[in-house]
Chains A and B, each alone.
Chain A
Amino acid sequence: GAVVSQHPSRVICKSGTSVKIECRSLDFQATTMFWYRQFPKQSLMLMATSNEGSKATYEQGVEKDKFLINHASLTLSTLTVTSAHPEDSSFYICSASTRGYYGYTFGSGTRLTVV
């Protein structure tokens, strides 16, 4: 079945630094990738949608300059949290889909802690 690999699974960084999270579709070409964040006991909140080769579409309230999304190939999307602050600490999850298939496969998530 479709597999999405997300890396790293856990990262601790200092306030003010940047962190990059990778999301790879291992056995299919992901035409669309979504990035979510999830706070404890909350649902997944969509941050942005990216289509391969085009700019990401950000949800209202999500800072484009802070959460940089790159979907340069059909198997890789990255989320970079720039100048991270403690309030950015959260669980970030990517999901991927391919055209014509409406099941979305999720990565295992990245636990970001900013200290």
Chain B
Amino acid sequence: QKEVEQDPGPLSVPEGAIVSLNCTYSNSAFQYFMWYRQYSRKGPELLMYTYSSGNKEDGRFTAQVDKSSKYISLFIRDSQPSDSATYLCAMIGRPGGGSEKLVFGKGTKLTVNP
């Protein structure tokens, strides 16, 4: 089983739609959870990071963490064409008690159509 599972999509939605992106993980050693946005041929940029279970809101973005289910989500409200990108979930922890690791999901390619 992979450490982090993320449906690669692609996902295509009309402008204004609510987008839901999800990841599951297998190792409870992961403690910090992030969502990154990556445009083509660019490095990822951090959108949100959370630590505890629950919701965290920032503008049109809401990150949700359920540690008991090992499941994280990113919701995008009122999606815009400029939101079209690949969204990667990522998490930090010390699986196996070793050095700290930042591990990514495969990324979900999102297209928001005008």
Name which residue of chain A comes closest to B8, CB basis.
A41
How many interface contacts (CB-CB < 8 Å) are there between A and B?
56
> B46 near A46 (CB under 8 angstroms)?
no
Contact string against A for B residues 6-20, beta-carbon threshold 8 Å, 1 for contact and 0 otherwise: 101000000000000
Count of A residues near B, CB < 8 Å? 24
Residue of A nearest to B106 (CB): A43
Total contacting residues, chain B, CB less than 8 A: 26
Instruction: Say whether, besides A41-B8, A44-B88, A103-B34, A49 and B45 are in contact (CB < 8 Å).
Output: no
Q: Are B103 and A6 in contact (CB under 8 A)?
A: no
A to B CB contacts below 8 Å, 18 in the list:
A34-B102, A36-B104, A41-B8, A43-B104, A43-B107, A44-B88, A46-B101, A49-B101, A93-B44, A95-B43, A102-B51, A103-B46, A104-B34, A104-B90, A105-B46, A108-B43, A109-B41, A109-B42
Q: Which residues of B contact A (CB under 8 A)?
A: 6, 8, 32, 34, 36, 41-46, 49, 51, 88, 90, 92, 98-107
Interface residues of A (CB under 8 A from B): 4, 6, 32, 34, 36, 41-44, 46, 49, 57, 91, 93, 95, 102-109, 111
